Every structure is written in C-alpha cells, then in structure tokens.
Structure 1
Amino acid sequence: MTIFRPCIDLHQGQVKQIVGGSLNDEGAQTNFISQYDAAYYAGLYKEHLLTGGHVIALGQGNDEQAKKALAVWPQGLQFGGGVTVENASHYIEAGASHVIVTSALFEGGEFSFSKLEAIKAEVGADKLVLDLSCRKTESGWHIATNRWQTITSLAVNSDTLVELSKHCAEFLVHAADVEGLQGGIDEELVRLLGQHTTIPVTYAGGARSLADLLRVHELSRGKVDLTIGSALDIFGGKGVTLDECIEWNHRQQ
C-alpha cells in the first residue's frame, strides 16, 4: 500500500524546498525557506510516527543540521547527501536508520559495482538505500548525480531495478525534472517503478495534492510510496496538509 513518506531537505544549512533541476554551484531556485531547523521537523515526524522519511543534504554546509535531526529521532530517518564509503558508518552511528547513496557509486559517469560492494561491506545492504534519482532523456530515464546535473549512462529500467534490488534495502527516486514544480508526478516513471521493483521504493517529484497519493497507489499497485515537499503546508505549500497525509497513512496501515 502506498504511504506518505516525509522529508527534510537541507540547502546551505537551512531547511528548504527547491526546484530540483535548478540546483548548481551558484544556488537553486527556492520555493520555501523554513524558520525552523531540521530538528523541529524530525520531532514533528517522530511525534506522528511518520517512518521511512529522509534527510537530504544538498551540497555543503548541512552536516550540523542533519545530525541534529538524526539525534532527535534515532533510527527514524534515513540520511543522504555526500555519503561515501569513508563516512557512511559515521551517519549510521549518528542515528540514521539507513544511508542513501548515489554519486559515490559512479566513476567517470559509469556505475561501479566495486564501489557498491565497498559500501555494502561498510554498513550492510540492510542499511543501504540506493538513490536512483533521474532525468528524462530521449532514451528514457537516466540516473543523475552531482546534484542532478550530471546525467550518467545508467538507465532506470527493468534490468537496472531488478539487478540493484539485490544489493540494498530500498530505492529512493527523485524525478529531478519535475521536482519542486508542483506540476504533477511523472506517471510513466511511477508505473515503471511499480512494475519492476520488489523492494520498498519512495518516489519524489511534482506531487501537488492528496490525490497524488491515490494516483501513485493506482499506478504502482501500492508498491511505491510518495514524498510530498513543496505542496505541503509545513513547507509553505497550499496543496495538502500534513494532517491529511497522516490520516492517509492511518487508513492504509
């Protein structure tokens, strides 16, 4: 059954909601900057038992905020953003239930199974989430690294999903082209994920209302969960409230 999964996106040391495709060295197009820190949101999610959420550090300067969130709810949040084989265990020790990894698994734009094996050896596949965030190309979706600016050769397709599911606990998939735009989910991508994933997977990108939870449930046959960011009231959005998402989860569970 599709459930709502919460998020805390950190950029330049603040909780923000951004347009994913705009993120670069100079900054990003921003939809929302919170007056609250990451610990506040972690506490809110803990209070309502919203499990399986993720803290994502977008660039440098976010480590302090990330660790505050993880300390508020040990084992309640996943962490991603700059995770490498050298620091992965550090974030597990800081309280992350899982680490989320993308860029560290690529070398020269090519996926490296040796790097994957190294991270697995460090934290275990049961604590590893593979971030398959992607952008649409003429040949389909391809994983995008380096803050979604570098499109790699690895396609998000049935073969990739089946093979990589053997090496991790979950997938996290941001549709970078629609992330933060509140223009609707990428229905084709959600359908693909639902058809070919056998492990938990969270989709993020474009959600704008409670109806998107139902739509993801229908498209994926309940196999894909949904993150809602910019449209959510706690992030300045007007499309859906956190209370509505909590009620949705209660009905599903």
Structure 2
Amino acid sequence: MTKFRPCIDLHNGRVKQIVGGSLSADERELLTNFESEQPAGYYARMYRQDALTGGHVIKLGPGNDAAAREALGAYPGGLQVGGGIQADNAADWLTAGASHIIVTSWLFDAEGHFLPERLNRLVDEVGKERLVLDLSCRGQENGWVVAMNRWQTPTDLNVDVATIVELASSCDEFLVHAADVEGKCEGVDAHLVEFLGKYSPIPVTYAGGANCYEDLERVNCLSRGKVDLTIGSALDLFGGTQIRYSDCVAWNRGV
C-alpha cells in the first residue's frame, strides 16, 4: 500500500514550499508558496510524534546545514537528507542522524554526464542500504530525463526501464520529484507514477503536484501500492487548503 511520506524543504535556513521549476542560481524568478515561522526541528518532532517514517529533508541551496542538522537531531534515524551530498560528507550526515543520504547532482559532471564511478564510490563509503538516488526529472518527448542543479539542468540520464533496473542494484530507494509539476498543486504526473510502480524493483517515493487527499488512493491504484507519496504545498501544514495533515497521518495508520 502507498504511504504518505513527510518532507522538510529548506531554503536559506527556513522551511519553505517552492515551485520547483522556479529554482535557479540567481533566484530572481523564485516562486515561494509558503515560508514557515517554525524551525525545521518543529516539523521533525511532529513527524516523530506521529510515527511517520521515510520522510526527507531537502537542502535547496547553501545556508541550510544548521537547519538540516536540527531536524535530524530532533528525529534521529527517522529522516533522509539530500542537497549537496557527496562522498566526502555523506558519512557525516549519517552521523548527524540521517537514516539515508539522498544524492543527485554529484553523480554528474558540469555538463550533466552521468559518472558511474562516483556512484560506486558512494556505495563503498556508506553502503547501498543507506543510499537514496534522487531521480527527479523533467518530461521530454518520449519520457523523462533526470534534472540536476535544483532541477534546472537536464542530464544525459533518462528515467527509463534500463536506468531504473540498473541503478536499483546500487541503492535502497528512489526519490522522484516531478519537477514540471512540483509545487503547482495541479495534480500528480499519473504516467510517471504508473511507470515507477510497474518497473522499479525497489521502494520509490514520488513528489509533485498532489492537490487532494484522494491522490493517496490514486497513487496507490496507479502504482499498485508500490509508490509512496510526498505532499507539500497542498498540505495545511504548509499553508495549503486542499489536504489536511491529520488525514494523511490517519491514512498511514490504516495502511
């Protein structure tokens, strides 16, 4: 069965919900749906109290390390962490309390070419059982392509059956943000959810576009219960009006 997985998105040290496609280096076109008055630890403690597992802390750019460490310290072993993770600092984040480290951009060179030797180095450093590969992607004519650098730079790695099957042997889970719909609350990418549920041999968390409580059941049906769902901007916890956090907690307790 599909589970609701919580998130803590950090930008400039604050908990925010951002339209994913608007993230760029200069941030002049950044679109923010929500900025919390509460620190990251507040949300981590809530997730711990409600026994929510497998959530993620994502550092969107610099200036977020202290907030991320606060969240991990408030819920040790209960949250994954991503954003700027590489082989040299991966173990430090596990020591800080992360259950897993999440990696995308470091696995590519500046031009977006996939570097399998870096993936092998990460596996050697932390073990595949502590590694989540972020295959957050943008749509293209015949499917999807992994996007790096805050989802702005397309890479040469397609999200297709061959990629999913090959990379599954080197990690514990996949995290997939549908960058084209992330933060827009316009509905999930049904085709992507169905694809991930059909072909991924390991657990997957999908994020992007959820705008109603019924999306949990929709993802459950589309993926045959094999894909979990993260909900952000639509959640009342983050200023949304479409989905109640308490309903998502109740959903998980019924799984």
**TM superposition score category, shorter chain reference:** over 0.9
SS at match of 1:226: strand
**Structure 2 residue matching 1:68: 3-state secondary structure:** helix
Aligned pair 1:188/2:191, yes or no? yes
For the aligned residue pairs, the C-alpha RMSD in angstroms reads 0.6
TM superposition score normalised by structure 2:
0.98
Of the candidates 212, 218, 222, which is equivalent to residue 221 of structure 2?
Answer: 218
Letter of the 1:18 partner, please give it: I
Match of 1:103 in 2: 105
- The superposition leaves residues 74-126 of structure 1 with CA deviations (integer Å, 9 ceiling, x where unpaired) of 10000000001110001000000000000011123111110000011111100
Match of 1:7 in 2: 7
**1:4-51, Cα deviation, whole Å (9 max, x unpaired):** 000000011100000000001222210000010100000000000000
Letter in 1 for 2:232: G
Per the normalisation by structure 1, the TM-score is 0.99
Query: Number of matched residues?
Result: 252
Does residue 177 in structure 1 map to residue 180 in structure 2? yes
Match of 2:84 in 1: 82
1:167 paired with 2:170, answer yes
SS in 2 for 1:87: helix
1:124-203 → structure 2 map (5 Å cutoff): 124-203=127-206
* Aligned-partner residue type, residue 144 of structure 1: A
Which aligned runs of 4 or more in structure 1 are off by greater than 3 angstroms?
A: none
Q: Could you list the runs of 5+ residues in structure 1 that have no partner in the other structure?
A: none
State the secondary structure of the residue aligned to 2:205. strand
Distance in 1 separating the partners of 2:140 and 2:84: 25
Structure 2 CA distance, aligned partners of 1:231 and 1:102?
Answer: 25
Shift of 1:139: 2.8
Alignment of 1:2-41 (within 5 A): 2-27=2-27, 28-41=30-43
Amino acid at match of 1:17: Q
SS in 1 for 2:254: helix
Task: Determine the C-alpha separation between the residues in 1 that align with 2:40 and 2:24.
Answer: 22
SS at match of 1:249: helix
Higher alpha-carbon deviation: 105-114 or 93-102? 105-114
Give the residue type in structure 2 aligned to 1:93: T
Aligned residue in 2 for 1:59: 61
1:236 maps onto 2:201 in alignment: no
* Secondary structure of the structure 2 residue equivalent to 1:86: helix
CA distance in structure 2 between the aligned counterparts of 1:81 and 1:87, rounded to whole angstroms:
11
1:114 to 112, 117, 128: 117
2:174 partner SS: strand
Q: Return the alpha-carbon distance in structure 1 between the equivalents of residues 222 and 120 of structure 2.
A: 32
Matches of 2:159 and 2:242, distance apart in 1 = 29
Q: Which amino acid aligns with 2:214?
A: A
